[in-house]
Structure 1
């Protein structure tokens, strides 16, 4: 069966789709067969990223390693079993189709709580939650006592992940490997970084996730989107002389893939 990687966070602006795109592309470059699903039916950022990639490759006459993006199939409601949810059925059909030919299935969830997102989390072998280095984002994971910083308990998103874990346990599936990425890190505010780092480490022990470094806040990530490019593609389109910032960003991608500890993945980028 394909290994399913879900990128989830109920708050937008965390760099989720960018992280998802770089991960999917890196896996294709490693030689893996990768399928992709975008469950954000409104904004479709991951889908548009992929469309931009295909358009750019066609215009430039180049071949870029690209995941196989699949759309959710339409479901005939008259054929549903009693009490069967059409979103559940559509996602199940899409995953079953991709599993026939893929080693990995990468799923990008919307930045909000939806039925599709909830079901996708229960399918995840690996769950990646990019998180801005801010206590505004941290509030999705845990409730904090404002005066002391003491963690009072899990918040809405953590509770949803807990529910997904319970569903997997009942189905006899292996536990979710949950990774929280400290994404869009800034170069300053060292005091806040230390406080966030300590809070995440404390919470990880309580609710069971791993903490990993994500991507530093860099202009290059925003510039790549209109062309559908990733940092791993620059040499393919003739950009051989990278500046120090771009080299450092590409190394962050390598470190991200290594931190996911995915089965049978050897980076060759």
Structure 2
């Protein structure tokens, strides 16, 4: 995924406004009367200063503004300015997010393999797609994030951010509980074996379990303490900052922690606890 190279050139739009010239004729004299244009209202110095300040506060010439808008798009699902920042539409940006989780090239999946559960069959591609959507949605559930500081350089800026992100232990617990409901308490003895195909299958099972947990109303596990890390923004020829090639990936990685979290996994999931066969 390359946000930098995917930036689309801005299209200049010419706004054509048609003016209708009205001729007002005096009934008594039959002569056209001239319309008097109202005197232009001069903008006060205070109003001009306020507009300039608002523009500066929202300008991408400040890397901290660019970082805040980018995090709003990734975590808060507020994509109103993502096209202005990255030159890709919100829909294209969503596909870029999904692609990061669709990429699982290390998985060695046996040809023709599928997962059968809940009376349905799931191909590997379907499981990976559900997992990608689940992860993007879970990151979108993060609400506690902020920009701390920035350090400008010639070609860009390092921006330090603070995020209360996803709890890795919570994700693992959610996946494990659902997997054990289907495979039993000994299911995880198959994880970490020397058999790469078996490991790939178990990884897909875990992906499916996590997606099932979330689809059935499971809470996104969030760490109790924020994590501080830095992400990089490049600078264009106009002096405006934009996310670099790996900024999105680095933001996802930084917002993932093995720290403590509030355990709501068992309370929120309404998946049946009856052991089933896969």
Q: Which has the bigger relative contact order, CA under 8 A and spacing at least 6?
A: 1
Q: Does TM-score exceed 0.5, indicating one fold?
A: no
Larger helix proportion of the pair: 1
Q: TM-score range by the shorter chain?
A: under 0.3
TM-score by length of 1: 0.22
Q: Which has the larger radius of gyration?
A: 2
TM-score by length of 2: 0.22
